[in-house]
Amino acid sequence: MKVKTFLFLMLSSIIVIGQNKSNSTQDYINTYTKIAIEQEKQYGIPACITLAQGILESGSGRSRLATEANNHFGIKCHNDWKGKTMYKDDDKENECFRVYDNAEQSFIDHSLFLVGKKRYAELFQLKITDYKGWAKGLKKAGYATNPKYPQLLIDIIELYDLANISDTYTENVKPATKPQEEKEIKKENIEKPKKKKPFWKRWKENRKERKKEREKRKLEKELQKIIDQQDVNRTDFEVEF
């Protein structure tokens, strides 16, 4: 009996740890979606691209730069930076990185960086919905040296359904309604009993969902590797001015 209890507790712990790891990226998305959408409206940078870059550059907010410096995009100091700094080995020893008071400042600085550099000008000619074009264009313009960078961004966007995040977020934010309007809405929203889907259809949907979850876990491992590498050396994802 004790052995069974021990095994059950061990299994439960493993499941919880696995869930925490897989939820870390979703938590990041939930936290920073609003900021990313604000950047899209103000600067024309797709919110899904901003979120995907933040996830990739900061390992969903878990990297040392993100946790200690609120720096989610790995932007270095350079001569024009007058704010706080953090020193860390990168291409060279003891390089200077920008420190922000909060994550929002990092997101804003990232937008200003892309808007202010001529080599990224072509990106702003693309449709706001062309996230694949943006992902490939960032690599082409020299944002990162890692050959997998565009595909990693695309994978993040597609696995976490970020392509239409702006529309989805807007739909979820409902305007205030008057009491009478609320009653009418409630009447309209009374759902009729739904017919149970055939077993084969439910099985197919579950299989698709399980496959997606496996891909997410695989991506989380990839992100963790990136964090480990970046916290020692960020060569693959250097942001230059």
**Ordered structural domains, the chain, with CATH:** 39-172+211-241 (1.10.530.10)
Quote the CA–CA distance of 56 and 215 in Å, as a whole number: 15
pTM: 0.70
Per-residue model confidence (pLDDT) at position 170:
66
Q: Is 178 exposed, middle or buried (CB count within 10 Å of its CB: 0-12, 13-18, 19+)?
A: exposed
Per-residue model confidence (pLDDT) at position 130:
97
Lowest mean pLDDT among 20-29, 37-46, 127-136: 20-29
Per-residue model confidence (pLDDT) at position 156:
93
More confident position, 147 or 199: 147
Q: Would the pLDDT of 34 be above 70?
A: yes
Alpha-carbon distances of 213 from 17, 20, 24, 107, 209, rounded to whole Å: 15, 13, 13, 28, 6
For the segment 93-136, what is each residue's pLDDT rounded down to a tens digit? 888 999 999 999 999 999 999 998 899 999 999 999 999 999 99
Helix (H) or strand (E) holding 230: helix 199-230
More confident position, 193 or 86: 86
Q: Would the pLDDT of 80 be above 50?
A: yes
Per-residue model confidence (pLDDT) at position 217:
80
Per-residue model confidence (pLDDT) at position 9:
40
For the segment 151-185, what is each residue's pLDDT rounded down to a tens digit? 999 999 999 999 999 888 766 655 544 555 555 54
Q: Would the pLDDT of 28 be above 50?
A: yes
Q: Would the pLDDT of 219 be above 70?
A: yes
Residue type, 166: S
Beta bridge mates, 98? 85
Q: What is the dihedral of CA 78, 147, 229, 55, to 10 degrees?
A: 80
